[in-house]
Amino acid sequence: MPRIVIVGGGLSGLAAAYRIRQRLPAGEIVVLESAARPGGNVWTERDRGYTVELGPNGFLDSKPSTGDLCRSLGIDSQLVAASEGSRKNRFLYLDGRLHKLPGSIPGLLRTPLLSLGAKLKLLSEPVRRRPRELPPDETIAEFATRRFGREVADTFIDALVTGIHGGDPAKLSVAAAFPRLPKFEREAGSVIRGFLRASKEKRRAAAAAGQPKPGPPRMWSFAGGLRVMIEALSATVPVQTSVGVRRIEKTESGWRVRGDGTDAWPADVVVVTAPAPRQAELLADLDPALADEIAGIGYAPIAVAVLGYRRADVPHDLDGFGYIAPQRTRRDALGVQWCSSIFPDRAPDGCVAWRVLCGGTGRPDVMAWDDETLLRKVHEEMTITMNVQGRPVFDRIVRWPNAIPQYVVGHRERVARIESHAARHRGLILGGNAYRGIAMNDCTEQAERIADDVASLVNASS
């Protein structure tokens, strides 16, 4: 009976364990999680009528992997879609007010966010020639400036990077963080042409399969929050919480995973999904060079302040997802998600629930603020940007020092080196959001690949 130990009970570890169990029903699988609960970044609290997401707010249906996992777990009937308004209306806070982000060509022509020159530059992207030799990797800022012009890069692309990565567009790799963009340029000669071509292909495939015409991606969660998925996963695989793994050792017959104290778990295969700095610590004795490579993956810190306000104290109609303040504006809040406008029942009657995201690589100083200071600053920010008229009636703060791995230029090459190095250690598999995608969808997609790899290893040995 193969013994498989998974280190880290976040979404990556739990989903991998679930998919491994499907492929190897006779396997002895255990997930070791250092925290007192499973889920890692993904967790929901319910308190005084508020449903509070501490990490992600939802997952997109732009990739099928998380939806497939929910169907496989039998929890898909509990899924709730984000409101139509939140899908259509997203805002940018710039020059002292909220601007609706344009969602169409006429909207783009009308937006005051860009000069006429910048609009023309953006609209002429499909006919802009692709350089004869494309750089192997570029920063997001370089790529966006080259394709769309500086204003679009500084305003829209910065906002996109702030909202997803909390990182610096002048450092992050476009190929690692947004692989579709350089692919479109490479294959279609232009990002816009590539995007239109891909959308047409998607529509054609949906029509051929008798499915409705696909729209823009939609965000999903559960009435009870994303914790529903974590609880469903944890019910299918044994998870031992409050077990901090300290070392991973090679033995004559395979592996030994050592926890705090004297506990040790023998294993044929070890899957490590803890955040990169922890992976590096666990592997430091086994392979210092591999550990050094992994330790080179940095993270953006994020502080999430969940605030409840009385609806009557908020003059805005709140028909939307929320807003982002581009990082170059260096505001105290990177952005705000209007959670009770996105999903139903997130706040008690007569109240709203918002998540204010602070920090990122541009404002790590925010992480040192104590709760009182952070609350005061985010509330002040809400009086400025949202014109709120009363004090918060609910608050909850959570800090994620290692929130989002930063895929800087050279990340893909680093991952290739890590993978080829790790391949020398048969039975050791590295995963988690540090390598090939930071979204929940990437973690659930990766789970299938990990399960395939574990199954081939086990089947080859037997």
Q: Which x/- pattern over 403-442 shows residues binding ligand FAD (rule: CB under 6 A)?
A: xx---------------------------xx----xxx--
Q: Which x/- pattern over 342-381 shows residues binding ligand FAD (rule: CB under 6 A)?
A: ----------------------------------------
Q: Minimum distance from CB of 42 to ligand FAD (Å)?
A: 5
Which distant-in-sequence residues (6+ apart) come within 8 Å of 377 by Cβ?
332, 358, 366, 369
Other Cβ atoms closer than 10 A to 8: 27
DSSP state of 214: P
Residue closest to 278 by CA, chosen among 294, 264, 267, 293 = 294
Which distant-in-sequence residues (6+ apart) come within 8 Å of 352 by Cβ?
308, 309, 310, 311, 314, 318, 338, 340, 341
Tell whether residue 273 is a contact of ligand FAD (CB under 6 A).
yes
The residue whose two tokens read 């989002």 is: 404
Is there a contact between 375 and 397 (Cβ–Cβ < 8 Å)? yes
- Residues 161-190 contacting ligand FAD, CB under 6 A: none
- Residues 300-339 contacting ligand FAD, CB under 6 A: 302, 304
Number of residues in contact with ligand FAD under rule CB under 6 A: 36
Other Cβ atoms closer than 10 A to 275: 23
Is there a contact between 303 and 378 (Cβ–Cβ < 8 Å)? no
Interface region with ligand FAD, contact rule CB under 6 A, candidates 6-14, 132-140, 150-158, 172-180: 6-14
Q: Which of 93, 184, 394, 400 binds ligand FAD (CB under 6 A)?
A: 400
Which is closer to ligand FAD, CB of 385 or CB of 433? 433
Tell whether residue 145 is a contact of ligand FAD (CB under 6 A).
no
Q: Which of 57, 65, 173, 385 binds ligand FAD (CB under 6 A)?
A: 57
Structure token pair of residue 184: 């479109």
Cβ density class 57-84: b for 16+ within 10 Å, e for less: bbbbbebebbbebbeebebeeebbebbe
Q: Minimum distance from CB of 48 to ligand FAD (Å)?
A: 22
Q: Which of 55, 149, 320, 392 binds ligand FAD (CB under 6 A)?
A: 55
Tell whether residue 233 is a contact of ligand FAD (CB under 6 A).
no
Q: Which of 2, 3, 6, 9 binds ligand FAD (CB under 6 A)?
A: 9
Residue closest to 89 by CA, chosen among 74, 102, 71 = 102
Residue closest to 146 by CA, chosen among 162, 130, 168 = 130
Tell whether residue 59 is a contact of ligand FAD (CB under 6 A).
yes
Interface region with ligand FAD, contact rule CB under 6 A, candidates 40-48, 135-143, 186-194, 198-206: 40-48
Which is closer to ligand FAD, CB of 192 or CB of 438? 438
Q: Minimum distance from CB of 229 to ligand FAD (Å)?
A: 11
- Kindly compute the dihedral angle of the four CA atoms of residues 94, 98, 99, 103, in this order, to the nearest 10 degrees: 120
**Which helix (H) or strand (E) is 76 found in, with range?**
none
Which distant-in-sequence residues (6+ apart) come within 8 Å of 217 by Cβ?
60, 61, 62
Tell whether residue 395 is a contact of ligand FAD (CB under 6 A).
no
Interface region with ligand FAD, contact rule CB under 6 A, candidates 98-106, 109-117, 118-126, 273-281: 273-281
Q: What is the DSSP string of 385-419?
A: HS---S--SEEEEEEEEEEEE--BTTHHHHHHHHH
Q: Which of 274, 314, 339, 353 binds ligand FAD (CB under 6 A)?
A: 274
Tell whether residue 33 is a contact of ligand FAD (CB under 6 A).
yes
Q: Minimum distance from CB of 145 to ligand FAD (Å)?
A: 27
Tell whether residue 34 is a contact of ligand FAD (CB under 6 A).
yes
Is there a contact between 175 and 407 (Cβ–Cβ < 8 Å)? no
Q: Which residues bind ligand FAD (CB under 6 A)?
A: 7-13, 32-35, 40-42, 55-59, 244-245, 273-275, 278, 302, 304, 400, 403-404, 432-433, 438-440, 443
